[in-house]
Amino acid sequence: MLFTYWIPAFPLNNSRTHKTRKRAGMTKEFTSQKTLVMTITCEALAMTFRTFRKQCYSTFMPFGKTIMKHLSILFVLVLLTATVGNAQQDYGVEVSVSSGFVFPSSPMTFANYWSMQYGGGIQVGVPVSQTITLFGSLEHYQFKLNQEGIAEGFDTNYMRDIWIFKSVSLNPSADPSSVTTVSANVRVTPSRLSAVLSPYFVGGLGALRFSLSEIKLPTTSVLSVNGSDIAMTAQQAVTGGVETSVFFQFGMGFDVRLTQSFDMFVEARYASGLNNGLRTTYVPVTGGIKLRL
């Protein structure tokens, strides 16, 4: 006997309702040439404002490919600006690679049912002074299903007791989930604690692509009736989806000077996506090697 039902956790692909505004026409008659000129000027300014408002909305709308496009342009412009400023300075380009561990924070299904599998990032930066460095970053982290979290969220012993089943078994499965970010950042190094150790603060803004896979939860319950076992399978699921949004991050870390050209660093950050009603947050704790060219 097969029972099938679905339990949605949360919708990730939320549709947006765009409000339309009617344009009010001017019906007043003008008797002087001066007033007519002023009217034409006001209409031109109003049209310019509407065009500007539409461009701003297209630039900052929180979902879709528009965000990636504009932030990629911003990322390139920041690096070009830093490179031009660096041409007159005695500082070299910095290239670093990093990896570490990411702690999911929200939403609840991301925090409770997923754990990091692997990931890392690459950064390219240009110091603009002795204390300030501008850098771009590309990071990707992949997550696997957290079996312990699933077992805590769906207690088969409780289901067995409350439904008076002989046994209840759960066999969850899901494809990997992932977080990919592109960001422009600034790193500020106030002062060195010693000749080899220096703390720094980091913050930035960019685009985040969050892919959360659907979790399939086939639950098999066995009911004993007159000495015969009757097995029933219920197909449950925690829905997933894909979102692209603006995100921000900030944190701090420590640089350890190894040689004149190499540094080792450790840092912790807080990252949050500005999703529409659903904020994706996580805490990456990473370490890596930085090369000064």
Residue 131 near residue 190 (C-beta atoms within 8 A): yes
Task: Specify if 38 maps to a domain.
Answer: no
Task: Specify if 67 maps to a domain.
Answer: yes
CA 14 to chain centroid:
16
Task: Specify if 40 maps to a domain.
Answer: no
Q: How many domains does the chain have?
A: 1
Task: Specify if 267 maps to a domain.
Answer: yes
Task: Specify if 236 maps to a domain.
Answer: yes
What is the pLDDT, as a whole number, of residue 278?
66
Q: Over its length of 293 residues, how does the chain's per-residue pLDDT go in tens digits?
A: 333 333 333 333 333 333 333 333 333 333 333 333 333 333 433 443 344 344 433 433 444 444 455 455 555 554 444 444 444 445 689 999 999 999 999 889 999 999 999 999 999 999 999 899 999 999 999 999 999 999 888 888 877 777 778 888 888 999 999 999 999 999 999 887 777 899 999 999 999 999 999 999 998 888 888 878 888 888 888 988 898 999 999 999 999 999 989 999 999 999 999 877 668 999 999 999 999 98
What is the pLDDT, as a whole number, of residue 73?
53
Q: Is the Cα dihedral 283, 176, 273, 267 positive or negative? A: positive
How are beta strands 2-4 and 228-238 bridged, if at all?
parallel
Task: Specify if 157 maps to a domain.
Answer: yes
Number of Cβ within a 10 Å radius of residue 39: 13
Q: Which structural domain, as residue segments, surrounds residue 230?
A: 2-11+52-292
Residue 236 near residue 174 (C-beta atoms within 8 A): no
Task: Specify if 270 maps to a domain.
Answer: yes
Task: Specify if 260 maps to a domain.
Answer: yes
CATH number of the structural domain spanning residue 207: 2.40.160.20
What is the pLDDT, as a whole number, of residue 232?
84
pTM: 0.67
